[in-house]
């Protein structure tokens, strides 16, 4: 493709609207343009990347036995009412009405639509397993779209849904998808990690997230170097301590600690380390129950774990007013000793502690040498805190490490949540009607493109992994001289004939402009043709990622490129 025939409006300056690197570079490289908050047009170059990713996904989904179909963007309210999600999904579900005042929504996901299809068409366990997928535009009316393609409202997603007659079959279907995802992101040329994840509101029992590793990722993952455990930090399990502190219990001491509201301040004043302190966090449930959570001073509470233990979906730190109603202590001085009428749950790290410091449950007071059991009663010791680097792995003798990631895929074993709600059943071998066991599997296609940039860029621009690069080779004739143009034309034709995707910068621009645009666009290989090289009978091949340059004779270019590309499993 010639640059003169491809709309690539590159920008020299950083657009003011973009903060994160993928957003900035994709705008600058002329890949995307914003239409409204979280809504983008893909320009030709950006679309080529999406299509590459799509091709890899299609191949691997098909190989895994899934069948492609295409569902509508709009779906009728009735289906969503059946599962209760018409109300439950909240404002993220963008709704509209047609001319007959019938209610519809823009699909944020398609469990309802696919389950409706399934129940109408499939009768017998003999037809299973089945797995349907589509690559389609989704709409989620996010509270705050941001970071360009990373969290758009309209985005391209691959979603798949598996149906099985029994749990064992469902696990096989799940594993197939897990393996397919592993191949997909590997083939995309991305560094990623699959981690155990929280099922959240979608329900079900098992889920894994596929995370592209990037410092700018919003998600935090923990893993042990043995490879035995990797999880989203919000999910990461921590085992109870295996031994308790056997020290003698010392007498409780009251200490005057005016103005020391933070863990740091208390530790500085009392000359103790934070791991000798227990903080008392007062949370309020949606039903206005106040719960005290005890966490070691150097640890952080994990609200998702707290919610799971309490069997609720959301919880927030109690307001000043609520705190005042249950404790005479102002914020910063809450403590478990003498706390009346509310549940006290402790992270199991507390179980190993003796003679620790707690808030005094009254103004300007802390207590030293507090002990659970003697000074206050804990309803239960549970896993309530957020994992952090250095914590012991729950599956090995190793320690956990932390790394940032971008969620690009999520696989769920759903169970029967949707099939039961919508009465999607098949007859099993005994002639009994059983609800289908479902799984659902998503890949954010446009987000994968953005994540690839977050992971692969430098000061000059993007550095695309070869399999998803918009082009393989960027052909850069540096002058308009006859020999240079002739060589460029010949090489272009010979590479195109071999199926190599070449972007030929045929603009009458100076070398610097072409180099800078090429670096910005980030095509993996630059084929540079200049007078200097031709005088010595060579053209130059530059690898974008390393800047490494090799001279090649024009005759040898075709085989050289074939050699370079043969190292990759390219989508066809």
Partner RNA sequence: CGGGGCGUAGCGCAGCCCGGUAGCGCGCCUGCUUUGGGAGCAGGAUGUCGGAGGUUCAAAUCCUCUCGCCCCGACCA
Cβ contacts of 373 within 8 Å, gap of 6 or more: none
- Residue with the two structure tokens 């645009």: 517
Rounded to the nearest whole angstrom, what is the least distance from the CB of residue 169 to RNA in the complex? 22
Place of tokens 């309210």: 77
Helix 167-187 to helix 44-63 angle, to the nearest 10 degrees? Answer: 140
* Burial (CB count within 10 angstroms: exposed 0-12, middle 13-18, buried 19+), residue 563: exposed
Residues near 509 by Cβ (< 8 Å), separated by ≥ 6?
none
Backbone angles phi, psi at 61, to 5 degrees: -65, -45
Q: How far is the CB of 136 from RNA (least distance, A)?
A: 11
What are the residues whose beta carbons fall under 8 Å from the beta carbon of 280, sequence distance 6 or more?
292, 293, 294, 334, 335, 336, 339, 358, 359
For RNA, the closer of residues 270 and 513 by Cβ is 513
Q: For residue 183, with 0-12 CB atoms within 10 Å meaning exposed, 13-18 middle and 19 or more buried, which class applies?
A: middle
Helix, strand, coil share (%) of the chain residues, nearest 5:
30, 30, 40
CB closer to RNA, 57 vs 367:
57
Nearer to RNA, 39 or 268 (CB): 39
d(CA 238, CA 305): 11
How many Å from the N-terminal Cα to the C-terminal Cα in the chain? 17
**CB 448 to RNA: min, Å:** 10
DSSP output for 510-568: -HHHHHHHHHHHT-SEEEEE-HHHHHTT-EEEEETTT--EEEE-GGGHHHHHHHHHTTS
Q: Which C-beta is closer to RNA: that of 36 or that of 287?
A: 36
- Rounded to the nearest whole angstrom, what is the least distance from the CB of residue 447 to RNA in the complex? 6
Residue (of 238, 233, 324) closest to 282 by Cα position: 324
Q: Which is nearer to RNA, 240 or 286 (CB)?
A: 286
Toward RNA, which CB reaches closer, 122 or 513?
Answer: 513
SS (H, E, C) 386-447: CCCCCCECCCCCCEEEEEEEEEEEEEEEEECHHHHHCCCEEECCCCCEEECEEEEEEEEHHH
Is the Cβ of residue 273 or residue 508 nearer to RNA in the bound state?
A: 508
Q: Smallest distance, Å, CB 572 to RNA?
A: 26
* Beta-carbon count within 10 A of 122 CB: 17
Q: Which is nearer to RNA, 142 or 364 (CB)?
A: 142
- Of 83 and 355, nearer to RNA (C-beta) is 83
For RNA, which is the closer residue by CB, 399 or 460?
460
Least spacing, CB of residue 513 vs RNA, in Å: 4
Q: Which is nearer to RNA, 11 or 247 (CB)?
A: 11
- Nearest-approach distance from CB 25 to RNA, in angstroms: 11
Report the alpha-carbon distance of residue 281 to residue 301 in Å, rounded. Answer: 8
Write out the residues near RNA by the rule CB under 7 A: 10-20, 23, 34, 36-38, 92, 109, 138, 140, 142-147, 151, 155, 157, 200-202, 218, 303, 313-314, 316, 410, 412, 442, 444, 447, 460, 478-480, 508-513, 515-517, 519-520, 528-534, 540, 542
Q: Do 162 and 173 meet the contact criterion of CB atoms below 8 Å apart?
A: yes
> How far is it, in rounded angstroms, from Cα 58 to Cα 136?
12
Residue 383 Cβ vs RNA, minimum distance, rounded to whole Å:
19
Residue closer to RNA, measured from CB, 152 or 335: 152
Distance CA 571, CA 63 (A): 13
Write down the least CB distance from residue 173 to RNA, Å.
17
Task: Find the shortest distance in angstroms from Cβ 426 to RNA.
Answer: 25
Q: How far is the CB of 392 from RNA (least distance, A)?
A: 26
Rounded CA gap, 225 and 452, in Å? 24
CB of 200 to RNA, least distance (A): 4
CB of 143 to RNA, least distance (A): 4
Taking the least distance from each CB to RNA, the nearer of 27 and 323 is: 27
Residue 181: in which H helix or E strand, if any? helix 167-187
10 Å Cβ neighbour count for 534? 18
């Amino acid at each position: 493709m010639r640059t003169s025939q491809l709309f690539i409006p590159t920008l020299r300056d950083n657009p003011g609207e973009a903060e994160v690197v993928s957003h900035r570079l994709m705008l600058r490289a002329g890949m995307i343009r914003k239409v409204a908050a979280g809504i983008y047009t893909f320009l030709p170059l950006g679309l080529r990347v999406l299509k590459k990713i799509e091709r890899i996904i299609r191949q691997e989904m098909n190989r895994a036995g899934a069948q492609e179909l295409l569902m509508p963007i709009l779906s009728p309210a009735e289906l969503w009412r059946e599962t209760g999600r018409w109300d439950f999904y909240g404002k993220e579900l963008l709704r509209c009405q047609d001319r007959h005042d019938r209610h519809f929504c823009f699909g944020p996901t398609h469990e309802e639509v696919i389950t409706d299809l399934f129940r109408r068409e499939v009768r017998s366990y003999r037809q299973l397993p089945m797995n349907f997928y589509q690559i389609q535009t989704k709409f989620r009316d996010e509270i705050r779209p941001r970071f360009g393609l990373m969290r758009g409202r309209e985005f391209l997603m691959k979603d798949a849904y598996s149906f099985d007659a029994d749990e064992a079959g469902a696990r096989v279907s799940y594993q197939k998808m897990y393996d397919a995802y592993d191949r997909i992101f590997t083939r995309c040329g991305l560094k990623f990690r699959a981690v155990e994840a929280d099922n959240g509101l979608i329900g079900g029992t098992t889920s894994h997230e596929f995370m592209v590793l990037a410092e700018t990722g919003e998600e935090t993952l923990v893993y042990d170097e043995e490879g035995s455990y990797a999880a989203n930090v919000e999910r990461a399990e921590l085992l109870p301590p295996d031994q308790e502190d056997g020290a003698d219990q010392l007498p409780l001491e009251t200490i005057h600690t005016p103005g020391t509201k933070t863990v740091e301040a208390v530790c500085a004043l009392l000359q103790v380390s934070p791991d000798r302190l227990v903080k008392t966090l007062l949370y309020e449930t949606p039903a206005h129950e106040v719960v005290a959570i005890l966490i070691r001073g150097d640890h952080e509470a994990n609200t998702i774990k707290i919610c799971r233990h309490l069997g609720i979906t959301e919880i927030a730190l109690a307001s000043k007013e609520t705190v005042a109603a249950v404790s005479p202590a102002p914020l910063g001085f809450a403590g478990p000793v003498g706390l009346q009428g509310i549940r006290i749950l402790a992270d199991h790290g507390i179980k190993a502690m003796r003679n620790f410091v707690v808030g005094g449950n009254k103004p300007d007071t802390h207590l030293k040498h507090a002990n659970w059991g003697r000074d206050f009663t804990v309803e239960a010791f549970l896993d309530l805190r957020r994992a952090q680097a250095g914590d012991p792995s729950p599956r090995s003798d190793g320690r956990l490490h932390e790394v940032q990631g971008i969620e690009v895929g999520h696989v769920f074993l759903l169970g029967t949540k949707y099939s039961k709600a919508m009465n999607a059943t098949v007859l099993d071998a005994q002639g009994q009607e059983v609800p289908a066991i479902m799984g659902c599997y998503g890949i954010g296609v446009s987000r994968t493109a953005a994540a690839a940039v977050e992971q692969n860029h430098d000061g000059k621009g993007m550095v695309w992994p070869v399999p998803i690069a918009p082009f393989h080779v960027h052909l850069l004739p540096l002058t308009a001289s006859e020999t240079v143009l002739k060589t460029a034309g010949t090489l272009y034709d010979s590479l195109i004939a071999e199926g190599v995707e070449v972007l030929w910068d045929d603009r009458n621009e100076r070398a610097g402009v072409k180099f800078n645009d090429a670096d910005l666009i980030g095509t993996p290989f630059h084929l540079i043709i200049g007078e200097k090289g031709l005088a010595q009978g060579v053209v130059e091949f530059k690898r974008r990622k390393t800047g490494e340059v090799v001279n090649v004779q024009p005759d040898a270019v075709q085989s050289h490129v074939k050699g370079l590309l043969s190292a990759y499993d390219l989508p066809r």
